[in-house]
């Protein structure tokens, strides 16, 4: 998602995921859509000062339960949230790698890096996959 998305686009996204439209949900969705990278709860709280933490958390849970966000374990004992931009509600074709910067503690999407599909032993059923690379982002790699 980019900054060119309008409220009507976000309203449509909620409807496509069978989520009732509310002002708070639109604010959280727009914050995630315009961020350009996965955000933590603390980052979302900083961006959305008009909604308290519990409402943001409930909204994110609703989005997760309706496959509108990916929940990414970022390697720092925390999670980040990003919009799921899958083209199908039955199959998530928006899986991609993420990069966690060990200095600035930000997580970035690497959409051109597909996640390799693992081969699981019989009887195992995969529900999610998290492919995380760690190191220094371009902004931090030049700092001393």
Query: How far, in Å, CA of 104 to CA of 38, rounded?
Result: 14
Query: pLDDT by residue (tens digit) across 21-80?
Result: 999 999 999 999 998 888 999 999 999 989 999 999 999 999 988 888 888 887 677 788
pTM assigned to the model: 0.70
Classify 69 as helix, strand or coil: strand
The set of residues, in sequence order, having a beta carbon less than 8 Å from that of 5 and lying 6+ positions away, is 30, 33, 34
- Overall fold of domain 7-141: Arc Repressor Mutant, subunit A (1.10.10)
Residue that wins the pLDDT comparison between 89 and 115:
115
The number of CA neighbours under 13 Å toward the Cβ of 19 is 27
* Axis-axis angle for helices 53-65, 23-35 (nearest 10): 80
CB 40 within 8 A of CB 28: no
């Amino acid at each position: 998602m980019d900054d060119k998305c309008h409220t009507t686009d976000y309203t449509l996204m909620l409807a496509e995921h069978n989520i009732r439209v509310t002002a708070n949900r639109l604010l959280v969705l727009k914050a995630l859509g315009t961020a350009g990278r996965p955000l933590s709860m603390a980052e979302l709280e900083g961006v959305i000062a008009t909604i308290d933490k519990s409402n943001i958390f409930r909204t994110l849970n609703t989005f997760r339960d309706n496959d509108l966000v990916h929940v990414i374990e970022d390697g720092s004992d925390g999670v980040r949230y990003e919009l799921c931009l899958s083209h199908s509600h039955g199959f998530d074709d928006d899986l991609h790698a993420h990069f966690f910067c060990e200095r600035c503690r930000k997580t970035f999407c690497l959409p051109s890096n597909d996640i390799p599909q693992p081969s699981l032993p019989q009887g195992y059923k995969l529900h999610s996959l998290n492919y995380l690379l760690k190191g220094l982002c371009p902004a931090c790699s030049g700092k001393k």
